[in-house]
Amino acid sequence: MSAIFNTDVIIQDDLEKVWNYFIDLENHGHKWMNGIFSLEKVTQDEVEEGTVYAFQSRGKQHKSTISEYVPKTKVTLTSVQGKFRADYTYTFVKHGDHTKVQLEADCEAEGVMKILSPLIKKAIKKSDLNQLERLKASYKNDQ
């Protein structure tokens, strides 16, 4: 995997409340994920590793799968489009009475996508680097 960006934010509330808001992607994800207007959980079970979400972005239908899930600690959302894979790993850490949320975005490209990878990474960074700031603002507005 190749790093796209790393960022973090402090949200002034306890970890469990922040986690519960974050992990309710169907109701809140579209508020802080740039270019996504809705997320729909297409798997039937509780949110866990293997949960799949469908979403529309930039005029196309996509899917994202939870590839790593540690409740109240970490979740990785993995999206694959052709020969390009992007992993967004969100980590939640208690920070005094607040919560530190970290986001690490990584990618893996094969074939012709390897050639396009630098441009794709640049576009992803431009679009999503402030995702956690949007999460923080959305969380605050909904409280």
User: Given pLDDT bands bounded at 50, 70 and 90, which one contains residue 57?
Assistant: confident
Q: How far is CA 78 from CA 23, 68, 93, 97, 98, in A?
A: 15, 9, 21, 30, 27
Q: What is the pLDDT of residue 115?
A: 94
User: Given pLDDT bands bounded at 50, 70 and 90, which one contains residue 110?
Assistant: very high
Could you tell me the pTM of the whole model? 0.95
**CA 134/CA 62 separation, integer angstroms:** 21
Residue 86 scores a pLDDT above 90: yes
Total domains in the chain come to: 1
Q: What is the pLDDT of residue 1?
A: 84
Mean pLDDT of 43-61: 91
Domain containing 129 — which CATH number?
3.30.530.20
| pLDDT tens digits along 4-43 | 999 999 999 999 999 999 999 999 999 999 999 889 999 9
Q: Which residue has the tokens 């959980």?
A: 41
User: Given pLDDT bands bounded at 50, 70 and 90, which one contains residue 118?
Assistant: very high
Sign, Cα dihedral of 4, 9, 100, 92: negative
Domain containing 66 equals: 2-142
- Between strands 98-109 and 84-95, the pairing is antiparallel
